[in-house]
Structures are given as structure tokens and as C-alpha cells.
């Protein structure tokens, strides 16, 4: 049986995207030179050649190293603009962008420099690229809850520039419950919540993200499939999972795309979406993720359209905005059939 034609360029939302993970080697070198910062790689090729990872931790080591060259507001603006341009070519019509402020403030870059640089690109994304966009501030879970609370306080004056808080970095040993109070404070401040859970960590971490952090979505969540009661709960409550297939293979959560459990998730009626996570490091942007996983798992056209519609429904857009984007997907499909 031949695979169904892929619908990789369907209009879609990207809901799991670390802006620092879109930092392509060419841009790393350009900004390093501009800021007069030495990097421990001789060339773009040598840096790209180092992108072989054994697990999440081995990736994070390189990821945090590369972002050291980001110093000024214009650097963050350029990084975000470069991503938006690529996203447009991938059929992205809406994106909710993660950023890691503590990875910058810990090296002396001011919180406002990061937010203002990113927000400048977000503000012009609709006009320049036809993409609506929002910012989600992630806390680094391997740092303390106190550090996360301090970071939340820094965000307060930025008001509506930030729509939600998230939780990322080294998962195992840093359960969501560690951040219960911080997330309560964020919710009280009017922010929405999401969290990485069940990427390398056990299903219990997904339960904690739901119960302690009141998340609207679970980032990754692939290990949820090990717990039948959790699968039932996620399906019944239509809790979205932001799945990142190429990331999961690159970080060895699955040995290859054919072993990925995305199809099983859809079969269990889960509200799965497909995303790129850190596309500069993992070998593909969101359309590549969709195309490759659809081929590997033999996803039907209907399943691919469902993934795109899920991404819009799982977003933090208004009902009216969602309706408009869902109609855009239907029109895209009609034009193809
Ligand atoms: N930070 C950037 N990418 C990440 C991932 N896949 N998991 C956890 N933290 C991250
Ligand atoms: Zn991630």
C-alpha cells in the first residue's frame, strides 16, 4: 500500500517551539561575530556536526552553550524574525513561542532585553508574515522554585506581552509539583499554564502537571500512553498534547519514527498536535515533522487534517480566531480535492 499524499503545508498552529531552539548555526556565527564572542567551534559545519544527542541532557548542554551569544534586544528580535519567516514557509498561521528567560538572566542579560526583543518580532508577525503569535515564558525546572518565582515577578510589568507560563529543561528528578506555588501565582496573575511532562519523565509527572499546575496543554506527554487511566482522562477532557516527533527520535525517546506512538494516540482519541520543539537542532521544522511522521506511520489525509485542526483548537486563540483558521484549513482541503 502506498502512503497517502502528505498535507505538510496545511495551515496550522505551532504550539511547542523553543525560540532558542530555532537558532541556526549560520545565525549563531553571525551574532557571535557581531557581539565579539568566541564560540568553541571552528565552522558552521563543525557546529552542525555536533548535533548528535544521546538524551535530553546531552542536547541541553549544547543548547544552553549556543545561546550565550544572544546579548542585545536586536539579537532576540533577529532570532524570532528568522523563525517566523521559516514558519510562514511551513504553513504556520499561528505560533505560541516558548522562551527561557533564566537562561539569559543567569548570564547577565536583562529580562526586559529578552522580552522586548522577542515581542518586537511578535508584534509585527501578522503584518510581515501573516502569522499571529504569542509568547510563553518557561521556567527552567532544574533551577529552584524561588528562582522561578523571581522570574515571574520580573514578567509582571510586561502584562499582556506574555500569555502563559511553561516548564522545561531537565525533566527527570524535577517533577511539576516542585513548581505548584509558582504556577498558582501565575494563574492568579491571569496567565495560562502549560508544562513539559512525560517526555523522559513518567506518567505521574503528567498527572502532577494536570492536578498541581492546572495546565491547559501537556508538552510532549508521549509517556502518558503507559498509563491507561491517564489516557482515558486526557481523552475525556480533550487535553491537548504537543507532540514533537523528530525531537523524540533525536533525543532517543523512540528509536525511530516508525516506533512513535502518535498514531496510537490518535486511535485513542487523544487531542494530539505535531510540532518541531527545537527545529534547528532536530533536523526539521513543523512541515518536515508532519511529512516525515505521516509517512512513517502511514497517516491518512483525514488524520493529517485532524492534527492541523487540533493545533488550532488547542491554541490560546479566541473562538472567533479559531473559527477563521479552521475555515482556512477546510478551504485548503477543498482546493486540493
Ligand atoms: N528545552 C528545549 N527543548 C526542550 C525539550 N525538548 N525538553 C525539555 N526542555 C527543553
Ligand atoms: Zn520542548
Q: What is residue 336's predicted lDDT score, i.e. its pLDDT? A: 84
Q: What is residue 2's predicted lDDT score, i.e. its pLDDT? A: 44
156 annotated active-site: no
Q: For the whole model, what pTM was predicted?
A: 0.97
Residues with CB under 6 A from ligand 1: 18, 21, 56, 63, 168-169, 196, 199, 247, 277-278
Residue 21 predicted with pLDDT over 60: yes
Residue 329 predicted with pLDDT over 70: yes
Residue 1 predicted with pLDDT over 70: no
Mean pLDDT of 10-25: 98
Q: Which of 103, 104, 168 to mutate to test the pocket of ligand 1 (most atoms within 8 A of CB)?
A: 168
Q: What is residue 223's predicted lDDT score, i.e. its pLDDT? A: 98
- Cα of 156 vs its chain's centroid, Å: 22
Q: Which of 61, 103, 277 to mutate to test the pocket of ligand 1 (most atoms within 8 A of CB)?
A: 277
Give CA separation, 211 vs 184, 198, 207, 230, 275, in Å: 11, 14, 6, 12, 24
Residue 286 predicted with pLDDT over 70: yes
Q: What is residue 9's predicted lDDT score, i.e. its pLDDT? A: 87
CA 168 to ligand 2 centroid distance, Å? 6
Under the phi-then-psi rule, with left for phi > 0, alpha for psi from -120 to 50, and beta for the rest, what region is 21?
alpha
Digit-coded pLDDT (tens) for 104-125: 999 999 999 999 999 999 999 9
Handedness of CA 284, 290, 293, 296 (dihedral sign): negative
Give CA separation, 190 vs 91, 156, 182, in Å: 30, 10, 13
CA 65 to ligand 1 centroid distance, Å? 14
Structural domains in the chain?
5-336 (3.20.20.140)
Q: What is residue 299's predicted lDDT score, i.e. its pLDDT? A: 97
Q: What is residue 208's predicted lDDT score, i.e. its pLDDT? A: 98
Pair 273, 15: CB distance under 8 Å: yes
Q: What is residue 5's predicted lDDT score, i.e. its pLDDT? A: 46
Q: What is residue 133's predicted lDDT score, i.e. its pLDDT? A: 98
Point out the catalytic residue in the list 96, 199, 200, 208.
Answer: 199
- Give the chain's mean pLDDT: 97
Q: Grid coordinates 505538510 are at which residue?
A: 8
Query: Among all ligands shown, which has an atom nearest to the Cα of 53?
Result: 1
d(CA 139, CA 137): 7
Amino acid at each position: 500500500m502506498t502512503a497517502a499524499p502528505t498535507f505538510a503545508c496545511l495551515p496550522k498552529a505551532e504550539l511547542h517551539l523553543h525560540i532558542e531552539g530555532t537558532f541556526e548555526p549560520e545565525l549563531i556565527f553571525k551574532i557571535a561575530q557581531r557581539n565579539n564572542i568566541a564560540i568553541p567551534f571552528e565552522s558552521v559545519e563543525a557546529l552542525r556536526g555536533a548535533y548528535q544527542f544521546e538524551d535530553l541532557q546531552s542536547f541541553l548542554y549544547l543548547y544552553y552553550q549556543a545561546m550565550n551569544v544572544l546579548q542585545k534586544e536586536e539579537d532576540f528580535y533577529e532570532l524570532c524574525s528568522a523563525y517566523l519567516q521559516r514558519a510562514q514557509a511551513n504553513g504556520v498561521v499561528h505560533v505560541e513561542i516558548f522562551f527561557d528567560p533564566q537562561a539569559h538572566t543567569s548570564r547577565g542579560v536583562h529580562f526586559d532585553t529578552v522580552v522586548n526583543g522577542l515581542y518586537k518580532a511578535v508584534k509585527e508577525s501578522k503584518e510581515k508574515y501573516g502569522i499571529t503569535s504569542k509568547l510563553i515564558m518557561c521556567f527552567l525546572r532544574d533551577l529552584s522554585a524561588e528562582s522561578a518565582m523571581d522570574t515571574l515577578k520580573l514578567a509582571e510589568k510586561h502584562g499582556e506581552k506574555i500569555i502563559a507560563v511553561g516548564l522545561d529543561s531537565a525533566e527527570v528528578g524535577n517533577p511539576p509539583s516542585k513548581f505548584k506555588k509558582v504556577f498558582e501565582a501565575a494563574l492568579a496573575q491571569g496567565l495560562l499554564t502549560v508544562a513539559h511532562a512525560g517526555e523522559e519523565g513518567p506518567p505521574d509527572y503528567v498527572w502532577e502537571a494536570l492536578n498541581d499546575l492546572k495546565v491547559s496543554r501537556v508538552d510532549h506527554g508521549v509517556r502518558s500512553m503507559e498509563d491507561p487511566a491517564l489516557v482515558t482522562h486526557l481523552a475525556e477532557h480533550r487535553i491537548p498534547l504537543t507532540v514533537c516527533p523528530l525531537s523524540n527520535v533525536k533525543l532517543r525517546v523512540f528509536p525511530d519514527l516508525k516506533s512513535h506512538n502518535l498514531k496510537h494516540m490518535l486511535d485513542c482519541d487523544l487531542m494530539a498536535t505535531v510540532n518541531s520543539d527545537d527545529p534547528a537542532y532536530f533536523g526539521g521544522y513543523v512541515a518536515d515533522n508532519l511529512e516525515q511522521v505521516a509517512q512513517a506511520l502511514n497517516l491518512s489525509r483525514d488524520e493529517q487534517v485532524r492534527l492541523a485542526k487540533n493545533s488550532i483548537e488547542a491554541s490560546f486563540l479566541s473562538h472567533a480566531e479559531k473559527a477563521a483558521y479552521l475555515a482556512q484549513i477546510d478551504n485548503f482541503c477543498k482546493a486540493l480535492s
